[in-house]
């Protein structure tokens, strides 16, 4: 019986995630969980409101708040006033988060190089194209 699509998508994702977390830990960023990373990854370049992060990560606002609290205590994010609404606050990437991002991106690039060597340029490009096109119908927060 062939593996279902969910498993075929999950296994490479999990491998990539494990490699990123290993690289982060090796660089001294060993206090981030996958749940925290999913929220962190959705922070916009100018910051994001907590409700936006919760929706984008598909979790409750309470859970998002809990995870942002943890990330803030660890120095990865900060809450700042929203310049468009004095009552609201934005979650922004803080200094420690800015230092962690290149580590994660380097790990992703390494995995992509390995997968390209295994699949070949054409198949890797086709995979990226197919997943990008699927994102159009699966990620409402583009």
First to last CA, the chain: 35
- DSSP letter string, 1-46: -PPPHHHHHHHHHHHHHHHHHHHHHHTT-----HHHHHHHTT--TT
Question: What pLDDT digit, counting tens, does each position of 16-63 carry?
Answer: 999 999 999 999 999 999 999 999 999 999 999 999 999 999 999 999
Q: Scanning the structure block, which residue is given the tokens 């490479």? A: 12
pLDDT at residue 118 tops 80: yes
What's the CA angle centered on 135, arms 6 and 123, to 5 degrees? 70
**Structural domains in the chain?**
1-28+95-142 (no CATH), 31-93 (1.10.10.10)
Q: 3-state DSSP call for residue 84? A: coil
């Amino acid at each position: 019986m062939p593996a279902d699509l969910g498993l075929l998508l999950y296994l490479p994702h999990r491998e990539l995630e494990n490699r990123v977390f290993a690289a982060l830990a090796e660089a001294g960023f060993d206090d981030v969980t996958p749940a925290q990373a999913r929220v962190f990854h959705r922070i916009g370049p100018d910051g994001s409101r907590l409700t936006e992060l919760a929706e984008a990560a598909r979790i409750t606002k309470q859970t998002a708040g809990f995870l942002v609290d943890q990330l803030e205590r660890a120095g990865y994010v900060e809450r700042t006033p929203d310049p468009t609404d004095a009552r609201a606050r934005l979650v922004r990437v803080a200094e420690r988060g800015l230092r962690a991002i290149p580590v994660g991106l380097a790990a992703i690039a390494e995995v992509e190089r390995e997968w390209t060597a295994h699949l070949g340029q054409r198949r890797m490009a086709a995979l990226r194209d197919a997943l990008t096109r699927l994102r159009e119908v699966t990620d409402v927060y583009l």
